[in-house]
Every structure is written in C-alpha cells, then in structure tokens.
Structure 1
Amino acid sequence: MRRWKCKVCGYIHEGAEAPEKCPVCYADRSNFVEVDADGNEITAAAASEVKQEPAIHITPIAAAAPQAQTQGFLTKLVLRLHLHPISVHFPNGLLPASVVFLALGVLFGFAIFNEAAFFNMVFVLATMPIVMVTGYLEWQHRYKGSKTFLFLTKITCSIVVLISLLTLVVWRFINPAVADPASPDRLVYLGVALVMLACAGIAGHLGGKLVFAGRNR
C-alpha cells in the first residue's frame, strides 16, 4: 500500500494514489508527496542524485539584513517553542469560565460573577495580540499560508472572537451596569459572549484537527 503525505498539515493517506483533497485541511492533490513507512519522501533520494547547477550567491542589501535576521529569529522561536498553542490556552481556558460567570450574573443577579467575567475578559483581550501574531506566523511558515476552507474558517472565527471580546470589554467600560438584571441589554450582551465562545470552540476544534492530522486514528 502506497503512502501519501499532505505537505500542508502532515496528514497521511494510504492508497494507490493521493486523494483529490486532504480530508483534514482540504489542500488539493498537488500538495501530496509519496512517503515511505518512516514518513520520508520517496523522491528525495532520487532528487539528491541529480546534478545540481552551481549556486548563485546574491549578496543581500546591507540595510535590510538586520531586519530580515530579526524576523527570521522570531519566526524560528515561535515555531520551535510552539508559542501559538501555548498562548491560545489562555483564551481557550478563560473564555468558557468568563461566559459561565457572565450567565450566572445575568440570569441570577450575582454581581460578583459579572465582575469575575469582566476581569477574565480583560486579561484574555490583553493576550489576543500574541495569539493572533503567533497564529499568523504558524500559518505562513508551518502551513505555507494555505488558503483552504479550514484555514479561512479558523482565521474568520479568530477575528470574530477578537471583535466580540473587544465589544464586550468596551461596552462594559461605557456602561458598567450592562450585565445587571435590570439592564435591557443584558441578554444581548450575553448573546455576544455566546457567539464569541462558539467561535473560539470552532477555532480550537480546527486547530486540533491540524495538530493530530498526521497521527493514526
């Protein structure tokens, strides 16, 4: 049985030929390469035997070199230390707690839970720039900036989470009583929080599909 590996997400397919689309990240057939039992690309050895043309050395512009080196270092640091999965644990862990606290405050009038929800959301909002930047670098370099349905959905959900979170925090700053039982906007406020939580869950689920794409089921 021949084995094919998706170069975008690492999914392994077994069959006579590569699938039309990757079932995990939806990359097309052109992104698959044939691999052996150890996951090594079969054509790599043959390609290395082909006589290579002499390399052409281009001297980089001196002014751009420091910036390029800094960007390269930061990218390698993000990928090597898995900073995106680490940073995304903050919103994934605190947002569900925030929404539960908010629901208790809105539905049962527990003011202390409204306060807890608000401070949790402020902290998550402060971490979102790190989450977004590291996620972008992961997408561009580990997944080659692939614009498949999975990645576009994940990016869209992340943007919705950021906008919803910013709306909730700013709204609470403007109107501190927005989540009080007497507030006419309390259910709308809670609804925005539920949309935020749903999108965070979808983004997390899609991220999990990418992480476990190459593992046996």
Structure 2
Amino acid sequence: MKKFDVCIRGQNFLIKKGSKVKKNGFYAARFIEANDYSDAVGIVMDSFRTELKDVVINDKSDPPKMNVVEVNEVYYFQDKMFVGDKVLPGEGFIWDEEWDEEELSKPISSLKERLIILRDISNRIGVIDIHTHSICIHFTNGLYPVAILFMFLFLLSGKVSFHQTYYYIMLIATFSVPFSYLTGILEWKKRYRGAMIPIFYAKIRYGMVIFVIGGLCTLWYFIYPGILENGGIQRLAFILLNISILVPLMYMGHLGSIIVYEKVV
C-alpha cells in the first residue's frame, strides 16, 4: 500500500450546532494508505461524509461541496500537512469561521435571528448550478454514434440522403468537441481544483483522441466525398476509422460515471 497526504476543501456546508445554524467551509488533511491517488481521495471523501453527516443539514437543491486541493504520495507520514499558507493537522477540520461556544449555548430568542436562519435556508432553493460540461459532452457524444448509424444506413440502402446526413452530423460533432473539451477543463479546475489524479489524466488524453479521430474522419470525407461510394481498401479503412471512435467515447462515459456516481473527488 502507498502512503498519501490528502487536503480537501469543503464549501457551502450548512452546519447545525446546538441551536445555531450557519453556512461554513473548511480545510482538512488526512494521511492514509491506499492503492493509488483515486483510491486515497475516495477514502478521505467517504470518511468526511461519515464524520459530518449528523451536523450537515443542506437541502438537496443546494448540497455541500468538497474539492481536492492537493494529493501527494509520500514515503512517510508527518504530523502536519503544509498547503500554501495553511498548516493542517491530520485530524479535525479547520473551519472558515470558528464557532463561538458562548454563542452556541445561547438560545435563538429573537424573531430577527429566526428570520435570518429561514432566509439563509430558503435562499438555497434559488441556487442553480449549471453543469456546462455535462450538457456539452452529452451533445457531442450523442452525435458521433448517430453519424455512424447514418453511414451504415447508406451502405445498406445506398440512399444519398443518408450519405449527406452522415457528413453533416460528423461536421457538427467535430466542431463541438473543442467546446466540450474546454468546458471539461474549466470544470475540472473549478470543481476539483485541477487535481492531477489518474482518472483526470485519462479523460484529458482520451478527449484528445476523440478530437483527432473525429477530425480525421471529417477531413477525409471533405477531401474525398465519394469514399463511401467506392469499394476497396480505402473505404474499409474509412469505415474502421469511424467505428474506432466509439471505443474512447464509451470509455470516457465510463470515467465520467465514476466521477459523478462513485464520487471519486
């Protein structure tokens, strides 16, 4: 087992302590043994959810967020983790706003305090977190298989309309890839603080593979529009190149589902 230092940034946590409710954020570090970076982050995230489940009262419409700040493989564990200007112990949480124990013991008595709490909770309903990358990538990933479907429909029927539809869909899909790729990079930096762990390395690499294959298919057809109408080795190579894009597309979908549903980070 390898040793890792993991620093997590928590934000938008609606915490209830005693009679007080407050939105807060934290920095926390953990020193653990795991198989790899992804496993280390997953273990730490799960432990935080367990530790905080009894005090976090966020509504589903405005959930708390945890992002990876830093993950390091180390030879041995130290007592503290140094991240920027912060010195983090290996246990507990460094909250953005410390709780005043005297304040916590004081009951909520005034109408103003109650209204503030209700307003803070109700404001969460209007918060909309638009997942731009998810929107873009589903658009792109859906177009390529449809284009390939029309390619085979042309090969089976010989109808020119299928032939033309294949090209236009491939053209739209290929031009949409840079937008999907860019939104993915921006979301990775925003939500996951650019955490350099294997699953993100893989998504970056395979995103480039999809762009290259899609671009080659589109360019090849643009230069030689009759490629599907003629027989021979060139048409076979063109068909195989088109089909090959499905493999990285499916793998990218698999990686995305791991991040979203298994909460890697």
Give the TM-score, by structure 2 length. 0.55
Is 1:81 the counterpart of 2:130 in the alignment? yes
The residue number in structure 1 matching 2:262 is 213
Change in Cα spacing, 1:124 to 1:46, as seen in structure 2 (3 Å) is closer
Structure number with the bigger relative contact order (C-alpha 8 A, sep ≥ 6) is 1
Match of 1:38 among 53, 71, 82: 53
In 2, the alpha carbon distance for the partners of 1:89 and 1:173 equals: 25
Alignment gaps of 5+ in structure 1: 9-16, 51-78
The residue number in structure 2 matching 1:20 is 34
Shift, 1:27, TM fit: 5.1
Contact 1:98 1:120 (C-alpha < 8 Å) held by counterparts: yes
3-state SS of the aligned residue for 2:182? helix
Is 1:192 the counterpart of 2:241 in the alignment? yes
Change in Cα spacing, 1:107 to 1:19, as seen in structure 2 (3 Å) is farther
- Give the helix-richer structure, 1 or 2: 1
Letter matched to residue 189 of structure 2: Q
Change in Cα spacing, 1:88 to 1:29, as seen in structure 2 (3 Å) is closer
Change in Cα spacing, 1:6 to 1:112, as seen in structure 2 (3 Å) is farther
The residue number in structure 2 matching 1:158 is 207
Contact 1:21 1:28 (C-alpha < 8 Å) held by counterparts: yes
- Give the strand-richer structure, 1 or 2: 2
CA RMSD of aligned residues (A): 3.4
Aligned residues: 173
Change in Cα spacing, 1:183 to 1:109, as seen in structure 2 (3 Å) is farther
Is 1:92 the counterpart of 2:141 in the alignment? yes
Shift, 1:145, TM fit: 1.8
In 2, the alpha carbon distance for the partners of 1:85 and 1:29 equals: 22
Larger Rg: 2
Percent identical residues: 24
Shift, 1:155, TM fit: 1.4
Change in Cα spacing, 1:30 to 1:100, as seen in structure 2 (3 Å) is closer
Shift, 1:109, TM fit: 3.6
In 2, the alpha carbon distance for the partners of 1:30 and 1:207 equals: 15
Alignment gaps of 5+ in structure 2: 1-5, 10-30, 57-65, 67-90, 100-127
Give the TM-score, by structure 1 length. 0.66
